[in-house]
Amino acid sequence: MYCIRQEERWRGRKKTETNHWWQRETPFSSFVPKLDARNRLNAAREIDPVTLPNCQLIKGIERGSEDIDILPNGVAFISSGLKYPGLKSFAPDKPGEIFLMDLNEEKPRAVELRISRGFDLASFNPHGISTYIDKDDTVYLFVVNHPHQKSTVEVFKFVEDDNSLVHLKTIRHDLLISVNDIVAMGPDSFYATNDHYFSDFILMFLEMFLGLTWSNVVYYSPKEVKEVAAGFYSANGINISPDKKYIYVADILDHKVHVMEKHANWNLTHAKTLQLDTLVDNLSVDPDTGDIWTGCHPNGMKLFYSDPENLPASEVLRIQNILSEEPVVTRVYADDGSVLQGSSVASVHGGKLLIGTVFHRALYCEL
């Protein structure tokens, strides 16, 4: 059980047209379980807006802000320019970027980070990101990358003096098949989600619409690489509790956040599940309160088809006390796409909120 503040009564808007994309026949129509797929994508859901008084779009971010990670000192890293199979891109021929925002500034602005020579910038296609601060205060940035439709994890060192990233290594492995998000455990170790079992677009499509639960979570270190959790429709966002005891995993197509207990051998066991009524994307954790903030897709059909007259909406949830018997879920922000399309992440620091998107803009709010 859980409570929902500002509870929304889900209403399915009446459809009088007969040529909507979800009604069209496709080569797969004879065997794809369309009703189940529509339910997983929340195809009938419409939302009521929830506004915040002090928000503005972030200048310079025009091609997405798929993931955001904020350091304890208020410096935020933002991945931009993701090109993902089946999803829109406003600049498909341009490489991705990593932006930085210092939330301590009176008027924070996005600054593109320079990446060291020798790294293949032309094929840079950043997805999920995670930071790790070592004992000597070195800041490592882990970036999920999809060069040439593959999956790698790029490890960078952040150089604050000149706002640059020094590329340290590229990690590839047979278990890192279709990586979506990552949470760093050390300077060279992490948990990662594979959102699909396959990396081929057609097989990914079939996997989703057939409802196969072959998605998983992998632990990586130089000494050991292994699957530590499985059975997801599409494991997406991943993060860790402030006490380092639990790993949170969002299953975007099952509308759930899974709480996994972390063990000394890095294995994960299921502790509990929180059911929601939205497609949960990336997860951010407030280090002070332990609250989970997440960017969500109220209607996944709109995200995939990106109709300019029926834009993909945005929704931000705050989950408090997820380990309790009655977590509190608050809808902090919701927009029909007129301001922000396809929210994928929400992250807070010091009363300031950043909302990122898969392929659109980014929003800065003062709470």
For the record, the structure tokens of 250 come out as 């969002």
For residues 144 and 129, the answer to whether their CB atoms sit within 8 Å is: yes
Catalytic residue among 127, 146, 167, 360: 127
Cβ 190 vs Cβ 153: under 8 Å: yes
236 is in an annotated binding site: yes
SS3 at position 60: coil
- Annotated active-site residue 258? The verdict is no
Structure tokens at 219: 């632990």
* Residue 73 known to bind ligand: no
SS3 23: helix
Rg over alpha carbons for the chain, rounded to the nearest Å, is 19
Q: What share of the chain is helix, strand, coil (3-state, %, to 5)?
A: 10, 45, 45
Asked if residue 163 belongs to a known ligand binding site, the reply is: no
Q: Does residue 200 have a known ligand-binding role?
A: no
Tokens of 61: 């971010």
Which DSSP string corresponds to 117-131? TTS-GGG--EEEEEE
Give the sheet arrangement for strand 225-232, strand by strand: 179-186, 189-194, 215-220, 225-232
Per the annotation, does 67 bind a ligand? yes
Residue of 114, 221, 127 whose CA lies nearest to 166? 114
Residue 238 marked as a ligand binder = no
Map tokens 């200048």 to a residue. Answer: 59
Residue 267 among known ligand-binding residues: no
Query: Is 216 assigned a ligand-binding role in the annotation?
Result: no
- Residues acting as catalytic residues: 127
Question: Which residues are annotated as part of the binding site?
Answer: 66-67, 129, 180-181, 236, 281-282
Residues flagged as binding site for Ca(2+): 66-67, 129, 180-181, 236, 281-282
